[in-house]
Chains A and B, each alone.
Chain A
């Protein structure tokens, strides 16, 4: 198998398995960890996880296709999620998303994550991020931008170029 898992990651995963009475429960946490490490969940990662947890690859693959946060190809270095749902929409989140797309030459009407050809940015419209009081909400990587403005978007763009 092409996958090379560093020993520290593998021991972290082994520890995770001990949290559950049944190994299969660890699969979501495995996929998170592998995605964090490799940037996406490859077929090799699916097979490796299945073997590790005593499952068929399909048991793991069906999770990758069901849960929106898992992705099967690498994303851009800066991952921008703009909230699409009502409170953020009322506060103008689609203008912010359009702004990102326009500046990056991406299709602002697509329903799937859009990645720039140079691999620097991925822009995605996502559902409610549970921070609606600070609408419009944008997540950049793991951090949340509250009351995001076009100026904030420009800062994110400048930092990620």
Chain B
């Protein structure tokens, strides 16, 4: 039976569990930090020795932990890229700018268990020789920022933070920094610019890899809230035990944000890859299926930037056969294990693990128009293809969803999207294009039918087929 597995969410939403430090300590809080600080050096077979910090860094790598923010990159590898020879300070930033549409998991941790994040951060700082770290939190979470500030003050008062933490001789300080409503700050180099007090224009890579030239041109680690929480559990459980959770190459647990047309939207923590997309949507322990009388039409599987999946699709995935050979097997949409690799194999991504479900009552044209308006609004404006293109996409889709479409719009939209992706400084270009490319490709008939109907209505002199009030508004961008 597919079930939740609560590692990060263990105490969250338990009756009587509060975000203050006393409650956290009653539940074994900051034991992992003590354990980390007491890590003995490790002798290697080749006669070399790992320092305690190196041991923890190696364990994070060995645990297989992959970033929970969107890219799914190995957290341990990301840490290993940090330039430790430059002599410059190393910074750590917790990316708490949760703003990928569909995602609401970090919000739960920040508001209900802030000390879990802080403990994960202090361990990560200690392991990486970081003395100063920031939590970059969305501007729209003012209560979260206050809670974090309070939690940091509590941790400082107890000696878990500040000078000489727990008598270890190490200093770690963490401050909260608030964003101000710009989605692009979730992009790590945009976030760094913003933390430097500038417009959040992402930096070009190379040369500005944060691990080398990050905050104040110093080596910098940027990790998602949930990722940093996992570090604590890796220390507690040991890398080997942790890696038994989930599936090979997709280890540990993950909090899935489920929204849209399901009976029970919400956040559900699962072992990565041990629950299928279909179970997340239909099983009584998760989404409990669609509303009465409705059938599935489409799924956005990993935040609004991920490519849409269409009901009934079947994918060819690599599987290891009993004899160890890789073979291709057919996997229907709802049987896709919810993990990084399976979704990638299906041509999309698990991204920020946000699933948005759309039932048969929904128009794909209108859904895509909604998303494209988001990207038009959020483009930072630095690269021309994205700044102009995202707006063209939104305008084209607005037209199509308001009775002024043309049959050729499907091609037009695809053409623009193709000319944005791959031509921008950051991944926002892809984020804006992928929904368009996938929606139009998989639901082409719907886009063409809408455009054709509008053309027919116009040629009869009937005027636009749908309500034109929005298009006629003087404030239209």
- The judgment on whether A and B are partners is yes
Which residue numbers of A lie inside 8 Å of B, CB to CB?
19-22, 24-29, 31-32, 53, 59, 62-63, 66-70, 81, 84-87, 89-90, 107, 109-112, 126-135, 139, 142-143
Interface contact B259-A135, CB-CB below 8 Å: yes
A63-B199 contact given A90-B362, A128-B102, A135-B259, CB 8 Å threshold: yes
Residue of B nearest to A21 (CB): B216
Interface contact A90-B469, CB-CB below 8 Å: no
Interface contact B139-A32, CB-CB below 8 Å: yes
Interface contact A127-B356, CB-CB below 8 Å: no
A63 to B304, CA, bound (A): 26
16 cross-chain CB contacts under 8 A: A21-B132, A25-B196, A28-B180, A32-B139, A66-B199, A67-B179, A69-B140, A85-B371, A86-B260, A86-B371, A110-B473, A112-B475, A128-B103, A130-B99, A142-B142, A142-B143
A14 to B469, CA, bound (A): 49
Does B454 lie at the interface of the complex (its beta carbon under 8 Å from any beta carbon of A)?
no
Does B425 lie at the interface of the complex (its beta carbon under 8 Å from any beta carbon of A)?
no
Residue of B nearest to A110 (CB): B475
Does B72 lie at the interface of the complex (its beta carbon under 8 Å from any beta carbon of A)?
no
Residue in A90, A133, A139 with the greatest tally of chain B CB atoms within 10 Å:
A133
Does B155 lie at the interface of the complex (its beta carbon under 8 Å from any beta carbon of A)?
no
Does B409 lie at the interface of the complex (its beta carbon under 8 Å from any beta carbon of A)?
no
A133 contact from B261, B265, B371, B377, Cβ within 8 A? B265
* Residues on the A chain within 8 Å of B304, using CB: 85-86, 128
A67 to B193, CA, bound (A): 13
B470 contact from A81, A87, A109, A112, Cβ within 8 A? A109
B197 contact from A63, A68, A126, Cβ within 8 A? A63
A32 contact from B178, B259, B371, Cβ within 8 A? B178
Q: Which 8 A-B pairs give the minimum distances between C-beta atoms?
A: A67-B180, A69-B181, A68-B181, A24-B197, A109-B473, A132-B259, A87-B259, A128-B101
* Residues on the A chain within 8 Å of B102, using CB: 86-87, 128, 132
A90-B261 contact given A110-B475, A128-B374, CB 8 Å threshold: yes
Interface contact B197-A26, CB-CB below 8 Å: yes
Q: Which of B159-176 contact A (CB under 8 A)?
A: 175
Output the least CB separation between B116 and chain A (Å): 18
* Residues on the B chain within 8 Å of A134, using CB: 104, 265
* Residues on the A chain within 8 Å of B477, using CB: 111
* Residues on the B chain within 8 Å of A85, using CB: 101, 304, 370-371, 374
Does B428 lie at the interface of the complex (its beta carbon under 8 Å from any beta carbon of A)?
no
B356 contact from A63, A86, A112, A126, Cβ within 8 A? A86
Output the least CB separation between B444 and chain A (Å): 20
* Residues on the B chain within 8 Å of A24, using CB: 196-198
A66 to B199, CA, bound (A): 7
Does B358 lie at the interface of the complex (its beta carbon under 8 Å from any beta carbon of A)?
yes
Output the least CB separation between B374 and chain A (Å): 6
Interface contact A130-B104, CB-CB below 8 Å: yes
Interface contact B104-A133, CB-CB below 8 Å: yes
Interface contact A29-B178, CB-CB below 8 Å: yes
